[in-house]
Amino acid sequence: MLRTVDADSHVEESEATWAHLDAEFADRRPRVIRVPDAPWLMGFDALWWIDGHTYPRPRGHGASIYSSPPLSTRARGKRFSVESQSLSDLDARIRDLDRFGLDVQVLFPTVFLEPLSADVRFEAALMRSYNTWIAERCAASRGRLKHVAVLPLRSPHDAVAETRRAAEQGAVGLAVFGTAGQMLLHDRALDPVYAEAQRQRLPHLFSRPLACPLPAQASPVFPRLRAPAGGSPRA
């Protein structure tokens, strides 16, 4: 029997997402700040505070718009409850799947659509916490929700280890956004990451980022990137 799969949905992260953050980074845990009576934020009036910066950034150069954390006026105005968006109520999310005739939904992260920290170790810790959290939520969904893990590509060694862990946690793919910091995605330093993904039979899923740095070596014309482990999620 054919199943109907939504292969590109998103979760809106909540403070529970960071519950698995390494102890050494506990005092840098992302926090939600609210900015009431700020019409210039266009309803995106709940923001993440991470290392002295706010995310999303709905105004200005390099603006980004999304509903993580899902406490903003914009998020609360969606057709889906905050509990469904954040997976704090799995039954609410599953009811939404049923309402739209979906058997399975593959979930991508939202806040990692843009770089969150210049600190490579902290970024990797944030990603590990996210991956553990989303794996736990999907494991409790009775097979209805599948997750795509996010990789700390600026640290290839950590990305290799996280690829192995993602496979152990039941990920169906690996999210890749734009660049690996100042590295383009065809940089040979990333070859071990792609090789490990092939060993684990996990596809890299390339997605257009909201904002990523333009590497110094990039030409004004998009380079031809090879994708050794690209493909579709294993739903």
What value does the CA radius of gyration of the chain take, rounded to a whole number of Å? 18
Question: For position 220, what pLDDT does the model report?
Answer: 44
- Are the beta carbons of 64 and 79 closer than 8 angstroms? no
What are 175-199's pLDDT values in tens digits?
998 888 888 888 999 999 999 999 9
**What is the percent of the chain with per-residue pLDDT over 90, rounded to a whole number?**
72
Question: For position 179, what pLDDT does the model report?
Answer: 81
Domain extents in the chain: 5-13+79-207
Residue 47 main-chain phi, psi, to 5 deg: -130, 155
> What is the pLDDT averaged over residues 213-234?
47
Which pTM does this prediction carry? 0.88
Question: For position 214, what pLDDT does the model report?
Answer: 52
Q: pLDDT at residue 163 above 70? A: yes
Average pLDDT, the chain: 88
Residues 6+ apart with CB under 8 A from 173: 106, 148, 149, 202, 203, 204, 205, 231, 232, 233, 234
Report the run of H or E that residue 84 belongs to, with start and end: helix 82-86
Class of CATH domain 5-13+79-207: alpha beta
Q: Convert 200-220 to b/e letters by CB count within 10 Å (16 or more is b).
A: bebbbbeeebbbbeebeeeee
> What is the pLDDT averaged over residues 64-80?
91
Question: For position 235, what pLDDT does the model report?
Answer: 53
Question: For position 210, what pLDDT does the model report?
Answer: 56
Q: Exposed, middle or buried: residue 94 (CB in 10 Å: 0-12, 13-18, 19+)?
A: middle
Residues 6+ apart with CB under 8 A from 201: 167, 234
